[in-house]
Amino acid sequence: MTNLSEVACRNASGQKSQFLQLNIDADESLPLYRRVTNAIKDCIESGRLAPGDCLPSTRQLASILGVARITAVNSYDLLITQGYLKTAVGRGTFVSDSFRRSSAAAPQIALSRARTPVAESLSSYAVQLLQLPALTSTSADQAGLHFGAPPAELLPVKQWRRLLLQQCAGGQVEQNGFDVMGYQPLREALAAYLKRTRNLNCSADMIFLFSNSQQAVNLVSRLLIDQSDTVALENPGFVFASKTMQSIGAQIEPIAVDHQGMVIAQLNQLSNCKLAYVTPSHQDPTGAVMSQQRRYELLEWAARNKAYIIEDDYDCEYNYGNVPLAALQGLDRDQSVIYISSFWKTLYPLTSMGFMAAPPHLIPLIKRAKLLSERSFSALDQITLCRFINEGHLESHIARTRKILATRRQQLIFALTDSLGKRVQITKHGSGVHIITQFSLALSDEEILTTAKNAGLAMVSTTPYYLANPKPGEFLISFSGGSSIENLSLAVSEFSKQL
């Protein structure tokens, strides 16, 4: 039996640290001061207290433990004698700098035997997940690329900060009733925004809010897909979507992508396909925009096969030189489309909130599932985003950054063609915040990446995006990264010199 007591300690700079739990032995054969001594010594030897950490005064320790002060004094005196503690006049009692924890000093929990997951003790989902190859690096994993976010210097930090502080003014935070679908005023603002800018046919009652769009993809995939069901995905395509659906046990059918998006002729050759996952506004990663004709063909396929379409409206905000096409959901007359998007590309790291516009007949089911998977998330973020949209800041921010990113895109393309000439081919798709390049070099992808890294040029291979037949020498380069376009151009020049 032990007496577990929490003792507030301060570090050497005087800042309050986390509460420290003392495990005091209840064996009364030892004097109490010795048991307190052993408990503090255990904290030091196990590394829970480090050299230089400040302990409470003897008066504080005695008060917290409910013991006489002499007990705390005797305990500290013994620890000082043994070299565990030291005192500094006017400052307090600290863990001695001379004490260095040895590997033998830290107690380890002995395990009777090693244990590894076995199929018999895991769910079918877990077994399927273990059988998948581990995710390799994609554009989202490299901070230097800054994929998934606008340039940090372009973020509307001042407006966001003002709105956020207004919610916390005077210590009062707006209270709202719980709604698994999300903050009602924000759903109303989003519905109006999506109808206006993306031609969606939706109302607030069809909108679900999520902490990010991947939560939405994961939830709806589990509701629509059973093990061994056939699912059509773009090839190349969004890595998270393919891994999510493979983890459920779906049979993935890769469908080729050309300059008009997913090739619907290939999709029509499939039988018993339950779902197609597409990124029509900005195909991930090629940047292709699905043509109007393909959109109608895809909707006809879904209606004919009683299948669903997950429309990930990825990067729809950034389109250069082309008239944006209406979202698939706005063209749908058979309630086949589940629309998903987020603020990842426009407002991260201020927020990466995701949202879904669900067909009316699926709303009760999605409500039940969301109640079990993500009941709620930051109310302050939702309230702030609601005001950010309603006051017009979102559309102003997108309009401003679209112009800047269009210029950066042109400058990056010029730098690449000027430095590399015919050794590089650049896709002409005018959307997104990166360009896709095809290098004609007598080097492996690994050698190209190493050369780029040495030159300070951040880029990634498109290989992880392919379900089949990846293209050697194909890479993504962002123009929204943390580096200025001038530094990016210099890195391109240096990369060319090192090839």
| Residue 100 belongs to a domain | no
CB 436 within 8 A of CB 426: yes
CATH number of the domain bearing residue 227: 3.40.640.10
66 in the same domain as 44: yes
**67-80 tens-digit pLDDT:** 999 999 999 999 99
Higher pLDDT, 23 or 119: 23
Q: Which of 359, 391, 423 is the last residue of a domain?
A: 391
Q: With residue 209 as reference, give the H or E element that holds it.
A: strand 207-210
13 in the same domain as 75: yes
352 in the same domain as 209: yes
What's the pTM? Answer: 0.80
Which of 311, 327, 309, 257 lies closest to 285, judged by CA?
A: 257
**422-449 tens-digit pLDDT:** 999 998 777 788 899 999 999 999 999 9
Strand pairing category for 474-478 and 434-439: antiparallel
Q: What does the pLDDT read at residue 101?
A: 53
Other residues' Cβ atoms within 10 Å of the Cβ of residue 400? 13
Mean pLDDT of the chain: 86
Q: What does the pLDDT read at residue 132?
A: 77
> How far is the C-alpha of 198 from the C-alpha of 193, rounded, in Å?
8
447 in the same domain as 385: no
**170-191 tens-digit pLDDT:** 655 666 667 999 999 999 999 9
Which of 377, 335, 323 lies closest to 355, judged by CA?
A: 377
297 in the same domain as 260: yes
Q: What does the pLDDT read at residue 111?
A: 52
In the chain, the number of structural domains is 3
Does pLDDT of 257 surpass 80? yes
Average pLDDT score over residue span 45-69: 88
Residue 483 is part of which domain span?
396-498
Q: Which of 336, 366, 391 is the last residue of a domain?
A: 391
Does pLDDT of 414 surpass 50? yes
CB 357 within 8 A of CB 200: yes
CATH number of the domain bearing residue 485: 3.90.1150.10
405 in the same domain as 341: no
Higher pLDDT, 263 or 480: 263
Q: What does the pLDDT read at residue 461?
A: 92
**448-487 tens-digit pLDDT:** 999 999 998 888 899 999 999 999 999 999 887 666 778 8
311 in the same domain as 174: yes
Does pLDDT of 13 surpass 60? no
68 in the same domain as 7: yes
263 in the same domain as 247: yes
Does pLDDT of 324 surpass 50? yes
Which of 276, 338, 266, 270 lies closest to 302, judged by CA?
A: 276
> How far is the C-alpha of 433 from the C-alpha of 408, rounded, in Å?
9
The b-or-e profile of 298-316 (16+ CB within 10 A means b, else e) is bbebbeebebbbbbbbbbb
Other residues' Cβ atoms within 10 Å of the Cβ of residue 228? 9
Does pLDDT of 384 surpass 60? yes
110 confidence band (pLDDT: 50, 70, 90): low
323 in the same domain as 226: yes
335 in the same domain as 229: yes
| Residue 42 belongs to a domain | yes
CB 128 within 8 A of CB 222: no
488 in the same domain as 421: yes
